[in-house]
Structures are given as C-alpha cells and as structure tokens.
Amino acid sequence: MKDNQIPKATARRLPLYYRYLRILNNAGKTKVSSTELSEAVQVDSATIRRDFSYFGELGKRGYGYDVESLMNFFAKTLSDDQMTNVALIGVGNLGSALLKYKFHQSNSIRVSAAFDVNPDIVGRIVDGIPVYPISDLKEQIAIQQIEIAILTVPAQQAQDTFNTLVDAGIKGVLNFTPARIVTKDNVLVQNVDLTNELQTLIYFLHSTNPTEKK
C-alpha cells in the first residue's frame, strides 16, 4: 500500500466503503458485486475501481469482492481495528450536539474528554463525557493518548485554542468554526464549515449544469 499516492477524494470515500461492508457482513453476506457496492454507496463503479486500485488487488474481475476480507482490510486502513480517543473543545450548542452524536458506523472512535471554560459545566459529566477545564488539556491528552480534537469554540477563539492544542500534542483537528486556522508543526486541519456547505449547495442549484453532483 502506498499511502502517499492516495488522493484526498479517495480517502474521503474509504469510510463509505467500510461502512457498507460492515452492514453486509453483519447481515451475513459473504460476497458483493461491484454493481451492488456502487449502488449502495452511490459512487460510480469506475471511481470505485480506481479507488481500490490504489491498494492493489482487492477483488477479482467477474467474481466481485469478498465481504469479510475487504471489510477487515478497510478496518485496518482506517485504524478502526484500534480505539481512537478524541477530545472535543467547546461545549456550546454545536459541541453539546456532537457529544450526543453517535459516531454510528464506527465502534472505535470515542469522544473521551471535553474541555470548556464555562464554570457551570467544567468538572461535570455531560452525556457520559467528563468536561475538563482547558488547564487540564495537556495532562488529559497525554493520559488518554488523544491525537485528535474536534474544535467547536467561538470563531474568535479558534486560532488561540488551536495553538494550545498543538502545544499539548494534538496532531489533527476537525475544525467546525468558520475561522481559517493557520496550522503549524504539520498538524492536520480538516474544516467542516456549515455555512460553506449551504452556500456551495445554493451555488450548484443556481448554476445550470454543475460538472459533478457527488
């Protein structure tokens, strides 16, 4: 497997493939055709074949795919065969909703610690997850071996909080704030900007013939 050759668009589809394979495996299915896979994940089969080709031979032409071995392969590729603890910073409206959010298709991702500045919730357990003061960040991240943080603080605090996270040892941040974070120390930042999503959708809706609808 050559990870450094895998395009981001392909990487983003891996969780989709993995989730569907788990559903099939739970249903006792042992084989899946590329057509079935394509219909279920709503990705055309040429794209699926190209995505899979980055990982070498994953199936045989005319035979389809072996569900269990393909599922196990993606579990390993996505590190879903090991527990990943995640921190959540900022227990406001969106943060609270994400604490309740079921990371449905994964048994192995778990928000294990939340952090906030609000004295009303710091030191309490919210939806089963302890809320620590920001001053405990470094200690908890080390103890719980957390590498990833979900950032749901107000936009004005995003960059400062990010810097604190990097100093505490965080390696990847899922940024839900509208702020464009300047990263450092090769820390990965993945942006989920809900207004952008809506604006992009509106743009495609009003442009007559979008190149790609996926």
Residue 166 has what DSSP assignment? Answer: H
Q: Which of 61, 119, 185, 213 binds its own copies (CB under 8 A)?
A: 213
Q: Which of 71, 148, 158, 165 binds its own copies (CB under 8 A)?
A: 148
**206 φ/ψ angles, rounded to the nearest 5 degrees:** -90, -15
Residue whose CB is less far from its own copies, 59 or 95: 95
Residue whose CB is less far from its own copies, 143 or 188: 188
Q: Are strands 125-126 and 84-89 parallel, antiparallel or unpaired?
A: unpaired
Nearest approach, Cβ of residue 104 and its own copies (Å)? 5
- Applying CB under 8 A, the span of 26-34, 62-70, 133-141, 146-154 interacting with its own copies comes to 146-154
Distance separating alpha carbons of residues 189 and 118, to the nearest angstrom: 25
Nearest approach, Cβ of residue 99 and its own copies (Å)? 9
Distance separating alpha carbons of residues 167 and 137, to the nearest angstrom: 10
Q: Which of 182, 175, 133 is nearest to 155 (CA)?
A: 175
Using CB under 8 A as the binding criterion, the count of chain residues that bind its own copies stands at 74
Distance separating alpha carbons of residues 189 and 204, to the nearest angstrom: 26
Site residues (CB under 8 A) for its own copies, limited to 177-196: 178, 180-183, 188-190, 192-196
Residue whose CB is less far from its own copies, 66 or 147: 147
Q: Distance between alpha carbon 9 and the CA centroid of its chain, in Å?
A: 13
Residue 24 and residue 69 in contact, taking contact as beta carbons nearer than 8 Å: no
- The reply to whether 96 sits near its own copies by the rule CB under 8 A is yes
Nearest approach, Cβ of residue 200 and its own copies (Å)? 5
- The reply to whether 24 sits near its own copies by the rule CB under 8 A is no
Residue whose CB is less far from its own copies, 134 or 174: 174
Nearest approach, Cβ of residue 60 and its own copies (Å)? 25
Q: Which of 60, 104, 128, 185 binds its own copies (CB under 8 A)?
A: 104
Taking phi over 0 as left and psi of -120 to 50 as alpha, with beta for the rest, 34 belongs to alpha
Q: Is 5 exposed, middle or buried (0-12, 13-18, 19+ CB in 10 A)?
A: exposed
Site residues (CB under 8 A) for its own copies, limited to 27-86: 39-42, 77-80, 84, 86
Distance separating alpha carbons of residues 166 and 161, to the nearest angstrom: 9
Q: Which of 24, 32, 94, 141 binds its own copies (CB under 8 A)?
A: 94
